[in-house]
Structure 1
């Protein structure tokens, strides 16, 4: 359907309120109107994510209610028991998060499905834990993670506590496509309260989550006075992270005051992504004043965490996701090994675009490593599988985009437990006269210098999406023989799956010297991502190879209009 016809149909709907209609009628930019109506906001395996506003390609209460009705239909197909088990909903600090949560709960109530709500904002990993703790059939987090303030989203989880995979996502999508906005069942607020179908979660769930998290600590022989600066980036992490660190006995945790409390505008940071060094501006300033040993920041829904370590007085090194993952793996597995409690069937899982240093560390200690597609829905799917087969024991999962989980009580990346382990790790080494920069250098000397680069090319709107498609098509069709003066050894196209890894729009190139790179469109943002990895016994040579490969690849990509 032409976007104009779709817009007119939307404006003529009896369900859409006058305020939303007025928002559209006041838009004079034809490109803006086209972008709002040229498609329905896509429901994928990550659920929904988009800019807040009126229109079919925006995040609003109508899109949320329709998606919720689709999920409700899927649950009802599974019978009364599934409906009684219910759905847990959590939300973050963003604009409209509470409103979208309210709409979703009222749709479930109208469909006779039990809903559990938190009393206030919560980190995403606590939703994952809650689904398992309450035995719910499904869960939802209303969040757009680290996207800018104009975004919000809706992530769906299944009974294992992990995000839905393609089978459930496709089933929900099939139901959504059958629905018009007028088909959605929604109960008014008063009847929702009277029905008893909506229940506020009791504090015992929080207490259980904290107890499980604290039980994962590995050493008390640490410097608990270590000076740490923490920024929640105005998100959900402030109270949970500080509580856990306080319970661990850390006495010198200093929170960036400007970024301490919830703020949907993210005024002091703009783009609230701790993967971006710009997010650390306020943290670095405070750390320099305190001569802090460690800085870390969690993203708005507190499932991702990044850190910086002191090199010398006033100087800090920003660890990337691969380095932080390798440090955590090295610390956790060596402490487990010291206690002689690494399970014989221990395994860790990483994504196919995550570096290999963590794998080499794990395998040196007898721990198997498995790869999955990008995203913790895939990483934790192996933990779910091993629950049934008992073939392996899931110890650790991570990906280069600063997501980590230690233990199997949460089936998603968890910045609460990761923050605890990061501070414990830094405090352990400080007790031994080392900082994390020095520890990383020791790891490199033992395993080789692993260098990496992640470059994202942002291409927004319809034209951007089409250009990203042309880039992927170009690389699939070309018969390359070398990159950055290094001969190509093998190309893997995951479009139809590869070995045990499911299908995805990813290309991976292995070079003769052991270097490799991957190209993939982002699943949640308007960008194409380029991951480059090199390894060498000589650090300077590893860096030079990285530069040469990147330069070659960018020249090829930017030549595609």
Structure 2
């Protein structure tokens, strides 16, 4: 108890504490539980950087946690030498509360340590930050965003010189430097305008956006079709109050898609995300206003990007209704379209590779196999897909063709090294137009894929368990599957278990054990004899535990039944029913 009380009092009594934070701490002076929750630990820095609730305390997102993290990054860069300092850091921010302020604070810390900073003057999507790092050849990048989390959250993500989210090794080294920053309240910085005048901070020019736009356009496989028939498809788009508004509209219009209508109530940045509960395109609720507009315009498809525009959700008109494609389904359709078109046009590399995560549907692998494309699986997190792209380029072993994960993240053009909803909106629009000219919707194409490869069906149960007790509950659930795994589910035996924390695959039928090649992570995957599987994974950036489920059978009805059985049994064991 003494540690968190002492921390609280240190913050409360600091003479220069920001007024809003001081008032928040004063308001909880008699609330021991509230004090503990804010100060019992530091906000954790990992490969995902920082993410947390905005507010006062060491376990909150505020200017002081930003300063401390950036001071750690600065010290890491200083140790890399003068070249790293001169190459500097690119910084972007989204539309969340304090995002611009946090970006400027990070810029001040770096520049005060003589590290060059390239700062976007206005909000930009996360994939634009990844591209900017690569284009400007900076040593690192920072983006201030909490992605699709509720409005009370913000975050801080660090990128390496490849434009990829930092790996475990680099994250650990930066974390060690952060731990050496004794008191975040006392980090010293110069004035922003002084640093700007000294050219230690400069704004990133529009050239970066223009080059990015050209690169996205180069991904199109039927550009002539868009030029001839671009008016034949009607699109409704919503940026959900985030960063996608300008770049998505600009690119769609510039390639020749003129009938693009933006949801006016969600067009402009709004840190409260006032029209939705949470700005997550995985949730149908966020499409309510978009569906109203789509009905008025008789739109063919609806697209929504999350606040930092790295995730994309798509709804398709079927009869008089708009139905959602989930992340696995849209990923499979995009992959099928890419491989079919590239094969037909004779531009599919012989060493092409698909990269997906271990919790993403195996349908992608089945499609890739048909076209002679290799599939590689990674841990959850797009940074691992980015690492594979780099590995392929350095070794020449494969040519990256597509990467995706079930959580609505996709990448075609490797000039970005993170999931990129901006480029994917253009791909989906072209794809929808191509199939419309054949009298098909994207759901018609999905049904054809199912009929050819089997009815792969997946689901995700994500449970939020906040606070100290919630974290303990999450650890108990994972331990229950690790220490006492089920031998069968609904009469179907578990063939093998992949425990990524231990780095072992165990065959339950033979008892044989073998090493896994992927990095260690607190994830457990269990695969049944009928190819169905489920995975248990605590979130690395949120107080959540996620359970993934997948089945495949020859019929829709059988797959739906099998999926419901699998879910019910696993959730009962996890005591989450």
Question: Are the counterparts in 2 of residues 69 and 185 from structure 1 also a CA contact under 8 Å?
Answer: no
Residue aligning to 1:129: 131
How many residue pairs get aligned? The number is: 559
1:411 lines up with 2:420 in the alignment = no
Alignment partners' CA distance in 2, 1:248 and 1:271: 31
Alignment partners' CA distance in 1, 2:528 and 2:313: 30
Question: Are the counterparts in 2 of residues 85 and 135 from structure 1 also a CA contact under 8 Å?
Answer: yes
Residue 390 of structure 1 is aligned with which of 385, 396, 400?
A: 396
Question: Are the counterparts in 2 of residues 15 and 181 from structure 1 also a CA contact under 8 Å?
Answer: no
1:199 lines up with 2:202 in the alignment = yes
Deviations 1:66-98 (A, max 9, x none): 100100011111100000000000000010001
1:258 lines up with 2:275 in the alignment = no
1:237 lines up with 2:244 in the alignment = yes
Per-residue deviation, 1:264:
0.8
Residue aligning to 2:344: 338
Deviations 1:490-549 (A, max 9, x none): 111000335221111111000011101101011122111111000011211111100001
Per-residue deviation, 1:17:
3.6
1:486 lines up with 2:503 in the alignment = no
Other structure's SS at 1:267 match: coil
Per-residue deviation, 1:345:
1.4
Residue aligning to 1:326: 332
Other structure's SS at 1:297 match: strand
Question: Are the counterparts in 2 of residues 331 and 425 from structure 1 also a CA contact under 8 Å?
Answer: yes
Alignment partners' CA distance in 2, 1:199 and 1:170: 29
Other structure's SS at 2:17 match: coil
Alignment partners' CA distance in 1, 2:172 and 2:148: 25
Alignment partners' CA distance in 1, 2:545 and 2:20: 36
Alignment partners' CA distance in 1, 2:542 and 2:298: 36
Residue aligning to 1:466: 472
Other structure's SS at 1:41 match: coil
Residue aligning to 2:284: 277
Residue 384 of structure 2 is aligned with which of 364, 372, 378?
A: 378
Question: Are the counterparts in 2 of residues 494 and 503 from structure 1 also a CA contact under 8 Å?
Answer: yes
Compare 381-390 and 265-274 and name the one that shifted more.
Answer: 381-390
Residue 94 of structure 1 is aligned with which of 93, 96, 102?
A: 96
* Structure 2, gaps ≥5 residues long: 505-515
Residue 57 of structure 1 is aligned with which of 23, 43, 59?
A: 59
The 1:290–1:375 alpha-carbon spacing in structure 2 relative to 1, beyond 3 Å, is same
Question: Are the counterparts in 2 of residues 310 and 437 from structure 1 also a CA contact under 8 Å?
Answer: no
Compare 228-237 and 8-17 and name the one that shifted more.
Answer: 8-17
Compare 386-395 and 315-324 and name the one that shifted more.
Answer: 386-395
Residue aligning to 1:506: 523
Alignment partners' CA distance in 2, 1:205 and 1:256: 27
Per-residue deviation, 1:291:
2.1
Per-residue deviation, 1:217:
0.4
Deviations 1:186-238 (A, max 9, x none): 11123212221011111111110000011110013354120111111010001
- How do 1:33-432 and structure 2 match up within 5 A? 33-179=35-181, 180-181=183-184, 184-219=187-222, 220-222=224-226, 223-225=229-231, 226-312=233-319, 314-432=320-438
Compare 11-20 and 386-395 and name the one that shifted more.
Answer: 11-20
Other structure's SS at 1:112 match: coil
Alignment partners' CA distance in 2, 1:254 and 1:29: 49
Alignment partners' CA distance in 2, 1:461 and 1:206: 41
The 1:559–1:246 alpha-carbon spacing in structure 2 relative to 1, beyond 3 Å, is closer
* TM-score normalised per structure 2: 0.95
Alignment partners' CA distance in 1, 2:455 and 2:152: 40
1:527 lines up with 2:544 in the alignment = yes
Compare 12-21 and 460-469 and name the one that shifted more.
Answer: 12-21
Residue 444 of structure 2 is aligned with which of 434, 438, 443?
A: 438
Residue aligning to 2:507: none
Other structure's SS at 2:574 match: helix
Per-residue deviation, 1:439:
0.7
Per-residue deviation, 1:21:
2.6
Alignment partners' CA distance in 2, 1:20 and 1:300: 25
Other structure's SS at 1:348 match: strand
Question: Are the counterparts in 2 of residues 53 and 60 from structure 1 also a CA contact under 8 Å?
Answer: yes
1:21 lines up with 2:27 in the alignment = no
Residue 550 of structure 1 is aligned with which of 555, 567, 576?
A: 567
Alignment partners' CA distance in 2, 1:534 and 1:523: 25
1:6 lines up with 2:7 in the alignment = yes
Alignment partners' CA distance in 2, 1:182 and 1:440: 54
Alignment partners' CA distance in 1, 2:235 and 2:21: 46
Alignment partners' CA distance in 1, 2:256 and 2:197: 44
Question: Are the counterparts in 2 of residues 484 and 545 from structure 1 also a CA contact under 8 Å?
Answer: no
* Structure 1, gaps ≥5 residues long: none
Question: Are the counterparts in 2 of residues 90 and 122 from structure 1 also a CA contact under 8 Å?
Answer: yes
Other structure's SS at 1:121 match: coil
Other structure's SS at 2:341 match: helix
Per-residue deviation, 1:344:
1.4
- The CA RMSD measured in Å over matched residues stands at 1.3
Deviations 1:327-360 (A, max 9, x none): 0000111111111111111111101100111111
Compare 387-396 and 502-511 and name the one that shifted more.
Answer: 387-396
Other structure's SS at 1:438 match: helix
Other structure's SS at 1:558 match: coil
Compare 442-451 and 179-188 and name the one that shifted more.
Answer: 179-188
